[in-house]
Amino acid sequence: GENVEQHPSTLSVQEGDSAVIKCTYSDSASNYFPWYKQELGKRPQLIIDIRSNVGEKKDQRIAVTLNKTAKHFSLHITETQPEDSAVYFCAANLYSSASKIIFGSGTRLSIRP
Amino acid sequence: GAVVSQHPSWVICKSGTSVKIECRSLDFQATTMFWYRQFPKQSLMLMATSNEGSKATYEQGVEKDKFLINHASLTLSTLTVTSAHPEDSSFYICSASHRLAGLSYEQYFGPGTRLTVT
Per-residue pLDDT of chain A (113 residues; tens, 9 = 90+): 789 999 999 999 999 999 999 999 998 889 899 999 999 889 999 999 998 888 999 999 999 999 999 999 999 999 999 999 999 999 998 766 667 889 999 999 999 99
A43 part of contact set with chain B, CB < 8 Å: yes
Distances (CA, A) of B106 to A107, B9, B14, B50: 23, 23, 36, 16
Of B41, B49, B99, the CB nearest to A100: B49
Tell me if A43 sits within 8 A of B109, measured CB to CB.
yes
Question: Hey, CA dihedral for A88, A90, A94, A98, is it positive or negative?
Answer: negative
Three-state SS at A80: coil
Distance from CA of A41 to the nearest CA of B (A): 8
* Best residue of B103, B107, B113, B116 to probe chain A, by most A CBs closer than 10 Å: B107
Distances (CA, A) of B29 to A93, B75, B98, B116: 20, 5, 7, 30
Model confidence band, residue B33 (pLDDT cutoffs 50, 70, 90): very high
Of A43, A45, A96, the CB nearest to B103: A96
